[in-house]
Structure 1
């Protein structure tokens, strides 16, 4: 019974984290290119136009979200998500720190995403899985 509850909790965490990446990849990067996304791409100085870089990043986020939500690839996509959330938060803090105090900001989004990563990895750890005897 407890194992089933842990599996359900891990599943819900995966759905939540997957949704986070799918939503942020699709809406502000592909369907409705956000002015904030444009300014972040331009601030990077990479020389790639935002109308190319943002949708490309959006596709990668959607793929990552699907891998996580559908449990494809096991734990590596979750580790990749955690790494990306940390790097992107640092990126925003360095290039556009004013965004960190906005109403819907990357601090809350990324920290909650990191919490979901931690919960998935913890809930799916072998230490929490029942052994072959069912105990």
Structure 2
């Protein structure tokens, strides 16, 4: 296995982990108070106890698609856009989170960098979209 492929696989595993972990732990297994507060601030009429596990399930599906659909960059591009949108969302609805430890800035920007690494190391002879 060449080094470019190793880097590609490690980046895919890392990006998938971000979505798998954040979908499962703070949204499904233990609903985080911050997650609940952020969800409720949107005032869409669905309680966080319902909406957060649904969002968590979607994140898990995205993480699995990043891992399993290695020939496609669609899940990676979608992830990059989603990470940007979610970061903007936090900046609008709970800007105080941006200066906390383990904040969305550090996590999302790092995950976006993983997206970039995946895109530039994708094998050229594989259908990527």
Alpha-carbon distance, 1:65 to partner: 0.4
> Normalising by the residue count of structure 1, what TM-score does the alignment of the two structures yield?
0.88
Are residues 1:50 and 2:48 paired?
A: yes
Alpha-carbon distance, 1:5 to partner: 1.1
> Normalising by the residue count of structure 2, what TM-score does the alignment of the two structures yield?
0.92
Q: Distance in 1 between matches of 2:43 and 2:89?
A: 12
Structure 1: which 5+ runs fail to align? 130-135
Q: 2:33 aligns with which of 4, 26, 35?
A: 35
Q: Distance in 2 between matches of 1:80 and 1:50?
A: 24
Moved beyond 6 Å, runs of 4+? none
Q: How many residues align?
A: 125
Radius of gyration: which is bigger?
1
| CA 1:73–1:29: 2 relative to 1, 3 Å | farther
Q: Distance in 1 between matches of 2:71 and 2:107?
A: 24
Q: Distance in 1 between matches of 2:82 and 2:12?
A: 16
Are residues 1:83 and 2:77 paired?
A: no
> Which residue in the other structure is 1:132 paired with?
none
Q: Distance in 1 between matches of 2:106 and 2:70?
A: 26
> Which residue in the other structure is 2:111 paired with?
113
> Which residue in the other structure is 2:92 paired with?
94
Alpha-carbon distance, 1:90 to partner: 0.2
Structure 2: which 5+ runs fail to align? none
Q: Distance in 2 between matches of 1:72 and 1:104?
A: 29
Q: Distance in 1 between matches of 2:90 and 2:4?
A: 34
Q: Report SS of the residue matched to 2:41.
A: helix
